[in-house]
Amino acid sequence: MADKEYNASSIRVLEGLEAVRTRPGMYIGSTSTRGLNHLIYEIVDNSVDEHLAGYCSEIWVTLEKDGSCTVEDNGRGIPIDMHEKGVSAERVVFTTLHAGGKFDNKAYATSGGLHGVGSSVVNALSTRMTVDVKKNGNVYEDRYRQGKPDMELVKGLLPIVGKAKGTGTKINFLPDPEIFEKTRFKAEDVKSRLHETAYLNPNLTIHYKDCREGSEEEVTFHEPEGISGFVKELNKSDEAVTDIVYFKGAYENIQVEVAFQFIRDFREEIMGFCNNIYNSEGGTHLTGFKTAFTAIINSYARELGILKEKDQNFTGADVRNGMTAVISIKHPDPRFEGQTKTKLDNPDAQKAAAQVTQEECTRYFDRNIETLKAVIECAERAAKIRKSEAKAKTNMISKPKFSFDSNGKLANCESRDAAKCEIFIVEGDSAGGSAKMARDRMYQAILPIRGKILNVEKASMDKVLANAEIKSMINAFGCGFSEGYGQDFDITKLRYNKIIIMADADVDGAHISTLLLTLFYRFMPELIYEGHVYVAMPPLYKVMPQKKGVEGEYLYDDAALEKYRKTHKAGFTLQRYKGLGEMDPQQLWETTLDPKTRRLKQVQIDDGRMASEMTGLLMGTDVAPRRDFIQAHATDAELDV
């Protein structure tokens, strides 16, 4: 009976593994040396997971004389007991695609991602594989050929082949020459990856041994200094200008660890890891760290008077000038996207990295002012060079004509001096029309947008780019955009110093503002972090005293109206503005456009609380808290008159 079940499920399993042999590239990237080496990492990562679970302190990786590889650990050993499928759990691990998660328990909370799912793939791509599990004082063994079981089991359980002390798992596999172009593991690459793993796991020791003829070698990787040691290694041939800064923290089950150091060079090297996997395309953890770091440095620079009131903030690139950093996070459920699926995509990872950086990095700088000053000096050097380069550029090249936005609605300003220019994003065509008439044509551009723009947090990339309103904004700003921080977005190309959101002072207006802020925060976060984004605060009321010769007044909220009522008992007429569209151009100019009288709130996210609140509220699906956020942030924000 058990036999029958086993046969039935194994047929399905074999179909799964046949797919791996038909399209190996889909599972390991390629069948070149890179893909070949990847087999080792897939197996080693299982032992690293066991280490993360708290049960494995040593791993032995041996490149054998016969071309095979042996990976052994001193973990608890792969489960060998009867699985619900009627066969040893070990067999399910090695014959089922993506079996990793099946054995997850709470101790495995931070594993996942690409981990632990690869052992069946390695099995399918190996001429032979032997599995030895040490448990209960015994060694249990199983064997496979090209992924197929190569041993008859009695009652589905593994045979005992010897006695053992302690526990652990040992895998030996020989890559299949039918699959791989070359079958010789590249020692340098394997060592470098194992060394990296040792840096990311300071309590782990990895023994590497090459037994192949002519390349015999033995190295042990143990890096108790962890990612600080990693940064030290990366910078070993550079002139350091700061100590190595290290901090860690946790936020909602996500652990964040950061180490960085500044060097004399104009280089930026930031490496992100999630659950010990290198994210070559970066991702949300890097975005969170970078945005928080930019905000921190700008805020200290102002506090210390290094940036004066009139000075523009340092850009993200400025503050990372000379930085070497390693950001390592542990996430219970990582998601990856991008060309090679190596870009971390979880929004909460951004939140966690920003929060921990904000708190812990500030704590560090408060106690190490000299390091902080050295970091700010690097930013000043970068800003100086950036400005002189920009100047040289504008002197050299005739300024490009502004491209017209795709639907031709942008009423641009005449000046090309970005520092003095402003763009108003105006909700609705009628308000847009009034704004166009009322504006200062020299310095104020108007971009009317219609209706509710896409919720970018829910929409896919191509939908975002297909949206006409979003396209015209990206076009108008001139910086491009990027999913993530930096990359294709170039803030130095920004055509307007102020981007002013002009929406009605009601719930719909607040919703539009929120959508716009979400768009900026997600695709152009530097605009916000560098203080370019504002929200116009149109008045709610106009009051006219009945007494002749006394001027009317605009009131911006209900509190102001209450106060006015108390001080003007004689009587007055009250005009309530339902929307911007109700104002004539003259009124719109006085209340919302004229730099001398208008009220703007600068959108500031200058601390972790705000940053995380913003991500949480803006990116969530809840509508009510979003509205609250707009109001809360309006009171937090500074008045810019």
Among residues 78 and 502, whose Cβ is nearest to ligand TTJ? Answer: 78
CB 481 within 8 A of CB 487: no
Task: Candidates 45-53, 416-424, 535-543, 580-588: pick the segment binding ligand TTJ (CB under 6 A).
Answer: 45-53
Compute CA 541 distance to the chain's CA centroid, rounded to the nearest angstrom: 43
Helix (H) or strand (E) holding 151: none
CB 357 within 8 A of CB 328: no
Among residues 95 and 412, whose Cβ is nearest to ligand TTJ? Answer: 95
Cβ atoms within 10 Å of 616's Cβ, excluding its own:
16
Which residues, 170 to 209, sit near ligand TTJ by CB under 6 A? 171
CB 542 within 8 A of CB 554: yes
SS3 291: helix
Instruction: With CA atoms as reference, report the closest residue to 422 among 602, 606, 614.
Output: 602
> Known catalytic residue: 218?
no
**Which of 13, 28, 40, 43 touches ligand TTJ (CB under 6 A)?**
43
Question: What tokens were used for 302?
Answer: 């102002």
SS3 556: coil
Cα–Cα distance, 343 to 580 (Å, whole number): 42
Task: Candidates 67-75, 227-235, 283-291, 343-351: pick the segment binding ligand TTJ (CB under 6 A).
Answer: 67-75
Question: What tokens were used for 566?
Answer: 């108390």
Which residues, 87 to 116, sit near ligand TTJ by CB under 6 A? 103
CB 390 within 8 A of CB 397: no
Among residues 75 and 229, whose Cβ is nearest to ligand TTJ? Answer: 75
Q: Of 508, 557, 582, 640, which one is the catalytic site residue?
A: 508
**Which of 69, 73, 326, 330 touches ligand TTJ (CB under 6 A)?**
73
User: If binding means CB under 6 A, how many residues of this protein chain bind ligand TTJ?
Assistant: 15
Compute CA 112 distance to the chain's CA centroid, rounded to the nearest angstrom: 17
Q: How far is the CB of 76 from ligand TTJ (least distance, A)?
A: 4
Cα–Cα distance, 81 to 550 (Å, whole number): 90
SS3 116: coil
Q: How far is the CB of 194 from ligand TTJ (least distance, A)?
A: 13
Q: Of 176, 360, 504, 526, which one is the catalytic site residue?
A: 504
Residue 273, φ and ψ in degrees, nearest 5: -130, 140
**Which of 38, 76, 285, 439 touches ligand TTJ (CB under 6 A)?**
76
Question: What residues have CB less than 8 Å from 622, skipping those under 6 apart?
Answer: none
Among residues 121 and 543, whose Cβ is nearest to ligand TTJ? Answer: 121
Cα–Cα distance, 404 to 427 (Å, whole number): 19
Among residues 99 and 515, whose Cβ is nearest to ligand TTJ? Answer: 99
Among residues 48 and 501, whose Cβ is nearest to ligand TTJ? Answer: 48
> Known catalytic residue: 90?
no
**Which of 79, 433, 480, 579 touches ligand TTJ (CB under 6 A)?**
79
Cα–Cα distance, 278 to 264 (Å, whole number): 26
Does residue 78 bind ligand TTJ (CB under 6 A)? yes
Instruction: With CA atoms as reference, report the closest residue to 88 among 39, 151, 17, 145.
Output: 151
Among residues 46 and 95, whose Cβ is nearest to ligand TTJ? Answer: 46
Among residues 84 and 622, whose Cβ is nearest to ligand TTJ? Answer: 84
Cα–Cα distance, 421 to 442 (Å, whole number): 8
Q: Of 345, 427, 469, 607, which one is the catalytic site residue?
A: 427
Q: Of 506, 558, 584, 622, which one is the catalytic site residue?
A: 506
Among residues 169 and 587, whose Cβ is nearest to ligand TTJ? Answer: 169
Build a one-symbol-per-residue string for 134-173: x at contacts with ligand TTJ by CB under 6 A, - elsewhere.
-----------------------------------x-x--
> Known catalytic residue: 506?
yes
State the DSSP string of 46-98.
Answer: HHHHHHHTT---EEEEEE-TTS-EEEEE-SS----SBPTTSSBHHHHHHHSTT
**Which of 48, 71, 353, 630 touches ligand TTJ (CB under 6 A)?**
71
Build a one-symbol-per-residue string for 579-618: x at contacts with ligand TTJ by CB under 6 A, - elsewhere.
----------------------------------------
User: How far, in Å, are 182, 198, 286, 332, 336 from residue 329 at the CA level?
Assistant: 34, 15, 10, 10, 14
Build a one-symbol-per-residue string for 334-373: x at contacts with ligand TTJ by CB under 6 A, - elsewhere.
----------------------------------------
**Which of 35, 50, 472, 577 touches ligand TTJ (CB under 6 A)?**
50
> Known catalytic residue: 18?
no
H helices of 166-205, in order, are 187-200
Compute CA 377 distance to the chain's CA centroid, rounded to the nearest angstrom: 27
Q: Which residues bind ligand TTJ (CB under 6 A)?
A: 43, 46-47, 50, 71, 73, 75-79, 103, 119, 169, 171
- Residues marked as catalytic: 427, 504, 506, 508
